[in-house]
Amino acid sequence: MPPSPNDAVPSGDAAQAGGLAEQQRQLALLKTGALQNAILTSPNFSIIATDEKGIIQLFNVGAECMLGYAAGDVVNRCTPSDLHDPDEVKARAQALSLELATPITAGFEALAFKASRGIEDIYELTYIRKDGSKFPAIVSITALRDDYDTIIGYLLIGTDNSVRKQVELDLNAAMAAAEKANAAKSEFVSSMSHELRTPLSAILGFAQLLESGTPDPTPTQRRSIDQILKAGWYLLDLINEVLDLAIIESGKLSLSLESLALADVLHECRAMIEPQAQDRGIRVGFPHIDAPYFVKGDRTRVKQVMINLLSNAIKYNRPGGSVLVECVAVDSDRLRVRVTDTGDGLNSEQVQRLFQPFNRLGQETSSEQGTGIGLVVCKRLVEWMGGVIGVESTPGTGSVFWIELTRTSPMQPSPGVTAPDTGPGIVQNASAGGSSTVLYVEDNPANLMLVDDLIGRRSDICLLSARDAIRGIEIARAVIPDAILMDINLPGISGIQALRLLAEDPLTAHIPVLALSANAIPRDIEKGLQAGFFRYLTKPIKVAEFMEVLDLTLQYAKSRREHSDGSRRS
C-alpha cells in the first residue's frame, strides 16, 4: 500500500541521527564484548561460573592456567569444591553446621552459603591442580541472579596467594629468629652480668674492709685502696648501664607507672647528689615546690634519669660552677624538669650526636670517667614512660637538659587500706642486740670469706655457712638460725627452690631469708621478692647497706619471736 500523504516521512537529518545512535550502540556492544573477552581470557585471574546447583558452566583461561585443567575437563562435570582441598571444605561445612544447627553437605553448599544470602564472601583456601600439587588462593564468591531475584548461578574469582603466603612465612620466620636472638641476648647479658659481678664483689668487698680496718691504712695504702674502689665502682656502673641498655633494646623492660610527687623525687635526688657536688665545689640549687606537681612514671627510673642528668651537670661543669634545677608546667598535661649547668656547653654537631651509644663527644681523653651510655639509657627510659627528653646548649655558656613527663593527679588510697608495715614492732636501722645466729648459703669461697670478715666485726652475731642449698636446709632445720643469707645460683638446687622448701617446713617457715646474689637484672630482683625473700641485695656488696639490712632482718626475726612467745603465754 502506498504511504498516505499524512504519514510522516523521516527527514534526512533524522535518518542520519538514527544511524549514528545505532553505530554508538554497536560500538558499546563491541566494547562490552571486548571487556568480557579480556576478563575471560585473562591469565591472571581464575573465573569460574556455575549454575544454581553449583555445576561448573564456565572455566576461563586463567582458571586453566592456574589449575591445569582444560575447560572441557570440568564444565558440566564438577563443582568448584571438587577442586579444593577436601579437608578444608569439610571443616568449613562442619563449622557452618554448628553455627546454624543444621546439617550442611561437605561440598559447594558450604562455600556458597553466604553468597546465596546476598553476602559476598572471600575465602582463603587451598586449590588442588590437576597434577595433585596444592597452592593457597583467595577466592571471592558472588551469587548471580535474574530479573526476578532468583539465583541462577555463582561466580568465583580467584587469585594465586602463594607469593603473599611465602612472604608471611618468611616474615614469621624472621620474627621468630629475632625473638630467639633477643632472648639469647638477654640471657647472655644476664649471665655475663652475674659472671662479672661475682669477682667484682670480692674486689670491692675486701677493699671496703681494708678501708675501714684496724689499724687505719697508711696514707699510701689509702691512696691505693681509693683507686681500687674508684675503679671498681666505675666498673660496676658500666656493667649496670650496659645491662640497662640491653634490657631496654630487647623490649624486656618492666616499668611500674604510678603517680609520683615531683617534690619527693627531687628531694631524694638532692640527698644522693649533694655529696658529689660538695666534693667538686659545685653549687646545686633545687626548687621549692609548693604546687601539687604529680607526674606519671616509674619512681626508680625517674630517679635514675635525674641522677644521671645531675651527675653529668656536676662532672662537666667548670670549677666553682653551679647547677640549677627547675620545674615548669608546660601546659595542663605536661611538666618539665630542667637541669641547667655552667659548663663548657655543646655545639650543634655535638648535640646531634649526644644520644648515640658509646659516644662521649671527645671526652674520652679527659679525666672524667664515663661510658657514653647513660644519656642513651635516659632517653629510652623517658620515652618508655611516655615522656620526652631534650637539650639546649650554647658553647662557652652551659647546657640545659630537660625531661617532660605526663602530669597526673595524686594517687588516692583505697578505703580501708593502711600504709604497709615492714613487720610487727620493727624499728628501722636498729641494732639486732643480744646474740644472733645467721646462716650463709654460698658456694663462692671469696664471697664466704668476705661476709665472714664483715660479720667477724660483730660480736653479737654468730655466722654459720653451707656450700650448697641441701646442706644449708639441713643446718637450718638442726640449728634454727635467726636469719639466712641465700645465694641464688647454687649447685644442685637454686636458692629460690631452697627458699620454697624452707617455707614449706613448719620448723623453718618463720625464718627470714635474705637474698644475696649477683643476679641484678630488675626482673631477677622482682622474681626473688615474689618468691618470698625478705629482702634482695645484689653483689658487689655495699658494706653499709648490707649491715643496715642485716640489722633490719635480725630485728624482724626478734620481733616475730617475741610476738610468738607472747601469743603462747596468753
Encode pLDDT of 259-269 as tens digits. Answer: 888 888 898 88
Instruction: At 124, give phi and psi (nearest 5°).
Output: -100, 115
Q: Which residues of 250-269 are buried (b: 16+ CB within 10 A; e: fewer)?
A: bebbeeebeebbbbebbeeb
pLDDT for residue 264: 86
pTM for the whole thing? 0.45
pLDDT for residue 21: 67
pLDDT for residue 55: 93
- Do domains 25-160 and 258-406 share one topology? The answer is no
From residue 246, how far is each of 184, 187, 382 by CA, in Å?
Answer: 11, 10, 16
For domain 258-406, the question of CATH label 3.30.70.600 is answered with no
Span 177-249: which CATH code? 1.10.287
pLDDT for residue 1: 47
Q: Which of 558, 501, 508, 496 is nearest to 533 (CA)?
A: 496
Q: What share of the chain is helix, strand, coil (3-state, %, to 5)?
A: 50, 20, 35
Q: Residue 315 CB: number of other CB atoms within 10 A?
A: 18
For 25-160, the fitting CATH number among 1.10.3720.10, 3.30.2090.10, 3.30.450.20, 3.50.50.60 is 3.30.450.20
In terms of C-beta density within 10 A (0-12 exposed, 13-18 middle, 19 or more buried), how is residue 201 classed?
A: buried
pLDDT for residue 251: 67
Measured CA angle at 180 (ends 177, 184), to 5 deg: 135
In angstroms, the CA 495 to CA 476 distance is: 14
pLDDT for residue 414: 36
Encode pLDDT of 498-527 as tens digits. Answer: 999 999 999 999 999 999 988 877 778 888
Q: Which of 49, 31, 53 is nearest to 40 (CA)?
A: 49
DSSP 86-122: HHHHHHHHHHHHHHHTS---TTHHHHHHHHHTT--EE
Measured CA angle at 474 (ends 471, 477), to 5 deg: 150
In angstroms, the CA 340 to CA 356 distance is: 21
Cβ 458 vs Cβ 498: under 8 Å = no
Low-confidence stretches of the chain (pLDDT < 70) are 1-19, 21-39, 104-106, 120, 182, 185-187, 189-190, 193-194, 250-252, 357-372, 411-434, 563-570
Tell me the one-letter amino acid at 542.
Answer: K
- Coil vs helix vs strand at 82: helix
Regarding the domain with residue range 436-569, which homologous superfamily does it belong to in the CATH classification? Response regulator (3.40.50.2300)
Q: Where are the domains of the chain?
A: 25-160, 177-249, 258-406, 436-569
pLDDT for residue 426: 27
Query: The dihedral of CA 260, 261, 263, 265: what is its sign?
Result: negative
Cβ 322 vs Cβ 342: under 8 Å = yes
pLDDT for residue 298: 87
pLDDT for residue 33: 59
